Chains A and B, each alone.
Chain A
Amino acid sequence: MGKAYLSIENLGVTFGHGAAASEVLRGVELQVAKGEFVSIIGHSGCGKSTLLNVVAGLVPATTGAVILDREAVSAPGPERAVVFQNHSLLPWLSVRENVQLAVDKVFAGKKSAAERRDWTLHNLDLVKMTHAIDKRPSEISGGMKQRVGIARALAMQPKVLLLDEPFGALDALTRAHLQDSVMEIQASLNNTVLMVTHDVDEAVLLSDRIVMMTNGPRATIGQVRPIDLARPRDRLAVAEDAAYVHARAAVIEFLYARRAA
C-alpha cells in the first residue's frame, strides 16, 4: 500500500504485565488515504478508543506501528489533533484563548502574532463560534464546547484529524447540526479524518469507509465497508437512498451478529 497516507500495521496493544496483562488489540491493519473520512465502530469496550489513542500517540503500541506521511508515530503531536469526547477545553481560558493557546504553540515562529490572531478567529469562524469568543467554557452549551474543541483541533492544521466520539455526549438535534458542520468543513478543507463512534447513522452519513471492530479482548478489525454515497450528502435525501439503507443494515447486522457470537 504505497499510496496510504496513514498506515496502521499489525498493531497490538497490551496493558499491564505478566498475569495482570490484558491484550486489548491484536493485529490491526488499516490504510487511510489522504482526504479520506474513516469511522471506527464497535461495541463499547472493544478498544476502538484505544486504537485512536495509539494513532494520537497518547497510548504506546505494544506491537506493530502507526505510520503517518512516511513517519512512524511515537508521541502525541499537533499533526494528529484530537477532538476529545468531553471537549477538554481549559475552563479558566475563554473560547478564544483556548484556540489561541494551540495556535500560539503550533505556529510559534512560523506566523506573526497578528497572523496567529487572525488564524484563531478564522478557525472559530469555521465552526460558527465567533459570537462567543470571550465566553468561558462554563458559559456555553455542550454543543458549542464541542465546536470550540473542533476549532482548536482544526487550527493546528493536522495531517489527520482524530475524533473520539465527538458527539456522544450531545442531544440528537445538536448532534445532527454538528455532523453537518463537520461534513461541510471536511468538504472544504479535505481533511483526513479518523473518527470513533458507536452511532451507526453517524458513521454511515459521514464516512467514506466504516471500519467495524470485533468484540474485545484481543479485538481486531472484523470488516471494512466502503460507503458509496455522493458528496455533499444531505441527511434527509440519503436516508431514502438504497446504498445508505444497505450500508446501515450491514453495519447493524455485523454489530448484532458479533454481540450474539
Chain B
Amino acid sequence: MTYPKPDFAEAAPVAAPATVPSPATASATAAAPVAPKIPGAAGLGRKAGAVAAAVLPPVLTLLVVMALWQGLCGDSYEGLPSPSRIWLESKELIVDPFYDRGGVDKGLFWHVLTSLKRVAFGFSISAVVGIGLGVLIGANRWAHRGLDPIFQVLRTVPPLAWLPISLAAFHEANPSALFVIFITSIWPIIINTAVGVRNIPEDYRNVARVLRLSPIEYFFKILLPSTTPYIFTGLRIGVGMSWLAIVASEMLLGGVGVGFFIWDQYNASRISDIVVALAWVGLTGFFLDRIVALLGRIVSRGNAAS
C-alpha cells in the first residue's frame, strides 16, 4: 500500500542505531576489560561528533557570509550597514529584547509576541474553517466541482491585495490583519485536506462499509486519522504563509507588531534595527514551522501505511 505521504509521516525507528554496538566500542571492551569507561567515552565522542556535524557547517557558513558582508560594506555610512556597525548601532535591541518604555518603544520580543498572537488567532480560525471546507470538497463531488475552481483562483491572490478590501469591510486595523492572515493561510489547508480525503484508501472505506459505521463514526475513526498527515502538511504551509502575511500587513496597518517595527525603523532610517528585526522574523518563522511539523509527527505517530 503506497500513497503519497508527507515527509514527516515516516515511522523510522530513530533510536535503533544507538543500541547497536559499534566495532570501535566492541573491540575496546574485548581488548581492555580493565577499562570499562572506554565504551561510554567512545559513545559520548560519537554523539559529540554527530552534533558537531549538524552544527558546524551552518555556523561556518554564517561566519563566511558575515565576513564577506563585513568586507563588502566596510565602515562606510552609506547603503547597508556592516555587521560591526549593526552591533554598534543596535546593541541595545540585540542584547535586551524585553525592554518596554511604553507606547511602541518596546523590545523586539514584545513586537514579535504581538504578531504571534495575531497569527495564532487568525491561523486557528483558518485551520478550523480550512479543514472543514477541505473535508467537504474532498468528500462531496458536487462541492468539489462548485468550489474548487473558485478556490484555485482565489488562492493565487497575493496576501496584501486582500488588505484594502478587509480594511473597507472591518474599518479597523486589527480585524483586518486577522482577516488577511485567515485568507492567506486557508488555501493550502483546504487543498491539502481535500487531497487527503480523496486519497483515503478504498480498503479503509470498505472496512467502514462492512462495519456499517455511521457518518460521524466514519469521520472520527477513519477520515480524520487517515487524513491527518495531509492536514498537517497544509497547516505547515499555512502557518508559514500567515507569518509572511502578518509582517507585510502590519507594515501597512501600524500599531505594535514586528512588521510595524520594521516600517517604523525604516522611516527613522535605522537600517541596523531592521536587520536585527529580520533575524527575529526569520527565526520565529523557522520555529513556527518546526512546531507545526513536530505536532504533526506526534499526532500522526504510527500512521504510516505499510
Question: Of the candidates B206, B210, B222, B306, which one forms a contact with A78 in the assembled complex, judged by CB atoms under 8 Å apart?
Answer: B210
Question: Of the candidates B206, B209, B213, B306, which one forms a contact with A91 in the assembled complex, judged by CB atoms under 8 Å apart?
Answer: B306
Cα separation A84 to B211 with both chains bound (whole Å):
14
Q: Min CB distance, B95 to chain A, in Å?
A: 47
Known contacts A82-B206, A86-B1, A86-B203; is-contact A76 B302 (Cβ 8 Å): no
Question: Among the listed stretches A18-26, A27-35, A99-107, A201-209, which one makes contact with chain B, having 4 or more residues with CB under 8 Å of it?
Answer: A99-107
Residues on B with C-beta less than 8 A from A90 are 204, 207, 221-222, 225-226
Residues on B with C-beta less than 8 A from A72 are none
A166 adjacent to chain B (CB < 8 Å)? no
Question: Of the candidates A75, A76, A77, A137, which one forms a contact with B206 in the assembled complex, judged by CB atoms under 8 Å apart?
Answer: A76
Residue on A nearest B225 in the bound complex, by CB = A92
B217 A91 Cβ-Cβ under 8 A: no
Cα separation A76 to B208 with both chains bound (whole Å):
9
Residue on A nearest B213 in the bound complex, by CB = A105
A91 B211 Cβ-Cβ under 8 A: no
Q: Give the contacts of B192-231 with A (CB-CB under 8 A).
A: 201, 203-204, 206-207, 209-213, 217, 221-222, 225-226, 228
Known contacts A78-B212, A90-B225, A101-B221; is-contact A138 B207 (Cβ 8 Å): no
Q: Give the contacts of A68-85 with B (CB-CB under 8 A).
A: 75-78, 80-82, 84
Q: Min CB distance, B293 to chain A, in Å?
A: 18
Residues on A with C-beta less than 8 A from B306 are 91, 137-138
Q: Min CB distance, A59 to chain B, in Å?
A: 10
B300 adjacent to chain A (CB < 8 Å)? yes
How many Cβ-Cβ contacts under 8 Å join chain A to chain B?
64
B302 A91 Cβ-Cβ under 8 A: yes
Residue on B nearest A149 in the bound complex, by CB = B207
Residues on B with C-beta less than 8 A from A137 are 306
Interface residues on A, range: 20 to 34
B11 adjacent to chain A (CB < 8 Å)? yes
A245 adjacent to chain B (CB < 8 Å)? no
B271 adjacent to chain A (CB < 8 Å)? no
B64 adjacent to chain A (CB < 8 Å)? no
B221 A58 Cβ-Cβ under 8 A: no
A88 adjacent to chain B (CB < 8 Å)? yes
Residues on B with C-beta less than 8 A from A57 are 209
Give 1 or 0 for each of A37-73: 1 = CB within 8 Å of chain B CB. Answer: 0000000000000000000111000000000000000
Cα separation A57 to B217 with both chains bound (whole Å):
20
Residues on A with C-beta less than 8 A from B204 are 88, 90
Residues on B with C-beta less than 8 A from A92 are 225-226, 228, 300, 302-303
Residue on A nearest B303 in the bound complex, by CB = A92
B305 adjacent to chain A (CB < 8 Å)? yes
Cα separation A84 to B213 with both chains bound (whole Å):
18
A175 adjacent to chain B (CB < 8 Å)? no
B217 A88 Cβ-Cβ under 8 A: no
A136 adjacent to chain B (CB < 8 Å)? yes
The 7 lowest CB-CB distance pairs between A and B, nearest first, are A88-B203, A76-B209, A138-B306, A92-B225, A136-B302, A76-B210, A91-B305
Can you give 26 A-B contacts (C-beta < 8 A)?
A57-B209, A58-B206, A58-B210, A75-B209, A77-B210, A80-B210, A82-B206, A82-B210, A86-B1, A88-B203, A88-B206, A90-B204, A90-B225, A90-B226, A91-B303, A91-B306, A92-B228, A92-B302, A92-B303, A101-B221, A105-B211, A105-B217, A137-B306, A138-B302, A138-B305, A156-B210
Which A residues contact B (CB, under 8 angstroms)? 56-58, 75-78, 80-82, 84, 86, 88, 90-92, 101-102, 105-106, 136-138, 156
